[in-house]
Amino acid sequence: MLRSRRRRRMAPVRAPRELAAVAVPAEELSEPDAILDVQNLRTTFRTDAGVVHAVDDVSLTVRRGRTTCIVGESGSGKSATARSIIQVVDNPGLVEGGRILFRADPDGPVHDLAALSATGDGIRSVRGGQIGLVFQEPMSALSPVHTIGNQIAEVLQLHTDLDPKAIRERVIAELEAVGIPRAAERVDSYTFQLSGGMRQRAMIAMALIARPALLIADEPTTALDVTTQAQILDLLAELKRELSMTMVFITHDLGVVAEIADDVVVMRHGKVLETGPVDQIFHDPQHLYTRELLASLPQREEAVTGAPSDEVPERVEVSDAVDTTVRHDDAAPSETPLLSIEGLRMEFESTSGTMFSRRTTSRIVAVNDVSLQIARGTTLGLVGESGCGKTTLGRCVMRAYRPTAGALHYDDGENATDLATLTTAQLRPYRRLVRMVFQDPYGSLNPRMTVREVIGEPLRVAGIAQGSELDDRVESMLERVGLRRDMASRYPHAFSGGERQRIGIARALITEPRLVVADEAVSALDVSVRTQILELLAELQDELGLTYLFISHDLSVVRKICDRVAVMYYGNLVEEGPAAAVFDDPQHGYTQALLSAVPVSDPRLRGTRPRVVYRPEEAA
Amino acid sequence: MVQPQLPQATPDDEAGTTADLATETGRSSRDVASASQRRLIWWRFRKHRLAMVGLVLLVAMYVVAAFAGFFAPFSTTTYSGEHAYHPPQVPRFSLQEGLFVHPTTGHTDPETLAPVFTPDESEHVHLRFFVHGDSYRLLGLVETDIHLFGPSEPGERWYPLGADRTGADLLSKIIYGSQISLSIGLVGVAISLLLGLLLGGISGYFGGTVDAVLQRVIELFMSIPTLPLWLGLAASVPPQWGPVPTYLMITVILSLLGWTSLARVIRGRLLQIRDEDYVLAATLDGVPTTRIIFRHMVPAFTSHIIATVSLAVPAMILSETALSFLGLGLRSPAVSWGVLLQDAQNVNVIATAPWLLLPGVAVVLAVVAFNFVGDGLRDSADPYGKRST
């Protein structure tokens, strides 16, 4: 009793009055069926580093019952726009101008949300109640100290008059609706007990439980693996159909846009560049930037005529044993491969328990008996989802880790050895021949060293070059990777992400290596920059005869640049072969599932492919 | 060899951080681009107004402490018994006499037993710049008797901030006291930094059992209540020791207790940096371990260490003051702010001679200044992090 009374008091009692004050005649909507009409919105961040116009005169219309995708690269203002709509802009951002006309019911009154106080009861009754929000990172968007059930129930406690028992039933029903198995048990679990995909489902349940008229999803699948992303996208599409809800979906991924959008808004630097139906954006883009974005999409397949169909993709379940490797073997390579990985196994020990309790040591097998060969001058793509052991494998090849078992036969014609058993001192000559390009262009460059020092370090410690000779080599390397000679005296903070990645490549190539391990080398970059870096890598390969081990979770990138592809799943190599064979004729169930989960970057092909779901066979 | 035509980074791609830093520090992007870490920190620090105020204050305090004999109007050993608990004298000004005060004679009120001072209005003590007075050694080297400001005739008395129990000038004592109080913080922190770097470094770099043992030791040190430990350690300093050995012992005692938190900070930073990609990159470059530690890892946290140290100094100053106030640290005739505050232990004294609390104001000023500088350093130490406003 006491509890419910407390909740009542929290209910927004002044909301109707506040909303009535910002009512606007319905004629002011730019389209009669608009649910949300943003007019000349301006959101500004005034920091001591200057004024940033995150949202600069943005106008867009969201029509009822449709999915509107806001697409743009990082810093384009797409998230700031979404957050402005429900007035949850991060400090010190401020909605400084424009109108946000919102009409919850088709024939209901129209309210200008921008005129509401950001902390008032009016906007609070809209948030969660009439507009639901799904964030990018469910781990940080959900509280770790409350059960998911409690968090979802709070929405109902605030927006409805249901009693606790009814609320709990509704929550369980909602969790079931978003596809969480055993919802009656899961309702009392905490976020850390759920997988990433489950968390995002719970987040969606929370956003939808009050049956909002509009759902805003801010990069809801970006933090997820591609197969999980596919499930979440399917779920959203399904829910949207069932609940006849309107959705604003924010993403940087054009593939996702092609998969789910009805209307598309392209943003850049806080401004709207182009709006239109998805088919028009993809097949008749008007703005140059949209065309650039589309051009950076890998392998656009032949356009199929016909309107996008909203049919549910067929669902196929496959299962294969995880410890068998499917090999598409063409003729065996005639010459000796540059690197031949044989039966590589990497285990990590993790100890749990404290000083006074019994220590338990558990073994995690990160790489399980992987054999691979990389021929000279080719690119091997290593793909898999997070936690599949692809990075560990790369680091074993680099000998950042000492493999538990297996061999790494390296043979470049002059030197031949098994890298796996060498000691630190014996490894030193090979450190020049096998080099690495890191994923994070920010963390991998020492901020305390100039670019000259960073790139020249391997030569200096090996005693290969010194003084002006070293400087000269560093500077000509900078030119090679498309930077200027005079940039050598700068510190890493003076460079953008793309430029830093060029510096990282220069550092890897300065020692004239034979094999370069590129671990997610382009994953942290925006699409347009990514294309430039991939082109650079390809050019350098032709010119210097490099061999790449290209590790990526991004299948489209791998398909674009790799000769052969290896697919990993939970430490096991499940499929390996020429890129074309693996992508066009996947044999292993996991590869099929992975490929079917990749969004097709053409809205006309929507729903034409069956969705494959992979369940590993129980190991005997 | 023909250089390939490679796509240049687009202008849009220009680094946002540089532009931000440029606007923030008021420099051109070009300057910022090639500025070293230290430069960037200094530029950001300059923009931190409170920290700059603190820095100026600190520099002034240390200059005064270093040239204490010159800035203090008297030495600490001259006193005038009849002027005990003399209230502060505000200089007056007249055209004939310039700056002056009237000399006073003191006697005890027979009824209230309070000291009463009657100025002799016919006489003047002239106050002048660069006067000859008590002799002292400048920086311990040059024997001289020139004082910045004071009575023009040697032997005349003036109490700008009042007199203490013995009738010595309080201002002079505060100035001389700053020598010990301000240096004990630096020396103490230097010793704890040494210990902290060594033990924290070992703990963080080797990890495993070594780390576990060292961390338990640190916890043990931290769990002992400070005051009884001080008492015990201070009791072990023989009372017949002179001021200098006592001073050294007190510093050692303070730093033996102060190194723990520094060791933890250093360990934490090392553990964090050990996992940075650029350290892995250096390993893969074939850089030897010692070079990785000293060339790649240590520079990454020196700025943070400096900030932590500048925040640890005031704690040391406060500890010394507290110890001496309780009579466990330095003792007369050594002069420190804590020793001076011993006079203010008595409520009666505070009621009749409140100026005896002025050394406390000096402590507060020094501590606040150090904290401002430390905060400023901490904020500017990370050139990529946005300063919280």
Confidence check: pLDDT of A305 > 70: no
> What domains can you pick out in chain B, each with its CATH number?
83-162 (no CATH), 173-381 (1.10.3720.10)
Of B13, B17, B277, the CB nearest to A440: B277
Confidence check: pLDDT of B353 > 70: yes
CB contact under 8 A, A75 and B16: yes
Would you state the pLDDT for residue A492?
81
Would you state the pLDDT for residue A358?
59
Would you state the pLDDT for residue A111?
86
**Mean predicted confidence (pLDDT) in B89-114:** 81
CB contact under 8 A, A498 and B284: no
> What domains can you pick out in chain A, each with its CATH number?
336-352+361-433+514-524+544-587 (3.40.50.300)
Give the residue from B278, B280, B382 with the most A CB atoms within 10 Å of its CB, the best one to mutate.
Answer: B278
CA angle B234-B239-B241, nearest 5°? 105
Of A436, A490, A498, the CB nearest to B33: A490
Would you state the pLDDT for residue A550?
92
Report the DSSP pairing between strands A315-318 and A611-614.
Answer: parallel
Name chain B contacts of A296, Cβ cutoff 8 Å.
none
Confidence check: pLDDT of B2 > 50: no
Tens digit of each residue's pLDDT (9 = 90 or more) over B140-151: 778 888 888 888
Q: Which long-range contacts (CB under 8 A, 24 or more apart) does A612-616 make?
A: A612/A316, A612/A317, A612/A318, A613/A315, A613/A316, A613/A317, A613/A318, A614/A227, A614/A317, A614/A318, A614/A319, A614/A320, A614/A589, A614/A590, A615/A317, A615/A318, A615/A319, A616/A319, A616/A320, A616/A321, A616/A322, A616/A569, A616/A570, A616/A590
- Cβ distance A600 to A258 under 8 Å? yes
- Examine residue B333 and say whether the peptide bond preceding it is cis (omega within 30 degrees of 0): yes
CA angle A196-A135-A382, nearest 5°? 45
**Mean predicted confidence (pLDDT) in B20-43:** 63
CA angle A105-A107-A109, nearest 5°? 75
SS3 of residue A355 by DSSP: coil
Among the ranges given (A282-296, A370-384, B318-332), the one the predictor scored with the smallest mean pLDDT: B318-332
Q: Find, among B30, B3, B18, B15, the residue nearest to A529 by Cα.
A: B15
Per-residue pLDDT band for A516 (boundaries 50, 70, 90) equals very high
**Mean predicted confidence (pLDDT) in B171-192:** 86
Give the residue from A292, A395, A486, A493 with the most B CB atoms within 10 Å of its CB, the best one to mutate.
Answer: A493
Among the ranges given (A203-207, A555-559, A600-604), the one the predictor scored with the smallest mean pLDDT: A600-604
What is the separation, in whole angstroms, between the first and last Cα of chain B? 53
CA angle A263-A600-A526, nearest 5°? 75
Residue B264, Ramachandran bin (φ over 0: left; ψ between -120 and 50: alpha; else beta): alpha
The chain-wide mean pLDDT, for chain A, equals 82
Would you state the pLDDT for residue A299?
55
Confidence check: pLDDT of A536 > 60: yes
Of B296, B300, B383, the CB nearest to A493: B383
Among the ranges given (A177-191, A245-259, B226-240), the one the predictor scored with the smallest mean pLDDT: B226-240
Percent of chain A at pLDDT above 90? 4
Confidence check: pLDDT of B386 > 50: no
Would you state the pLDDT for residue A517?
92
Percent of chain A at pLDDT above 70? 89
CB contact under 8 A, B6 and A536: yes
Among the ranges given (A296-310, A338-352, B18-32, B237-251), the one the predictor scored with the smallest mean pLDDT: A296-310
The top-scoring range by mean pLDDT among A57-61, A466-470, B254-258, B310-314 is A57-61
Per-residue pLDDT band for A74 (boundaries 50, 70, 90) equals confident
Q: Distance (Å) from the C-alpha of residue A43 to the closest C-alpha of chain B?
A: 19
* Structural element, H or E, at residue B375: helix B358-381
In the structure encoding, which two tokens stand for residue B65, read together? 């402490």
Gap between the Cα atoms of B132 and B69, Å rounded? 12
Nearest residue of chain A to residue B41 (CA atoms): A448
Confidence check: pLDDT of B169 > 70: yes
Name chain A contacts of B31, Cβ cutoff 8 Å.
none
In the structure encoding, which two tokens stand for residue A233, read together? 């996208």
Confidence check: pLDDT of A11 > 70: no
B63 Cβ neighbours under 8 A, 6+ residues apart? none
Per-residue pLDDT band for A265 (boundaries 50, 70, 90) equals very high
Q: Distance (Å) from the C-alpha of residue B335 to the closest C-alpha of chain A?
A: 44
Confidence check: pLDDT of A445 > 80: yes
Per-residue pLDDT band for A417 (boundaries 50, 70, 90) equals confident
Tens digit of each residue's pLDDT (9 = 90 or more) over A148-175: 888 888 888 888 888 888 899 989 988 8
Of B15, B35, B389, the CB nearest to A496: B15
Name chain B contacts of A443, Cβ cutoff 8 Å.
276-278
SS3 of residue A517 by DSSP: strand
Residue A126, Ramachandran bin (φ over 0: left; ψ between -120 and 50: alpha; else beta): alpha
Per-residue pLDDT band for B30 (boundaries 50, 70, 90) equals low
What sign results for the dihedral spanned by CA atoms A401, A407, A410, A416? positive
Name chain B contacts of A529, Cβ cutoff 8 Å.
9, 13
Gap between the Cα atoms of A434 and A500, Å rounded? 20
Among the ranges given (A377-381, A486-490, B87-91, B205-209), the one the predictor scored with the smallest mean pLDDT: B205-209
Gap between the Cα atoms of A2 and A11, Å rounded? 15
**How many C-beta atoms lie closer than 10 Å to residue A379's C-beta?**
23
Locate tokens 């540089």: which residue?
B18
Gap between the Cα atoms of B263 and B260, Å rounded? 5
Confidence check: pLDDT of B4 > 60: no
**Mean predicted confidence (pLDDT) in A21-45:** 84
* Stronger pLDDT, A453 or A1, i.e. the higher one: A453
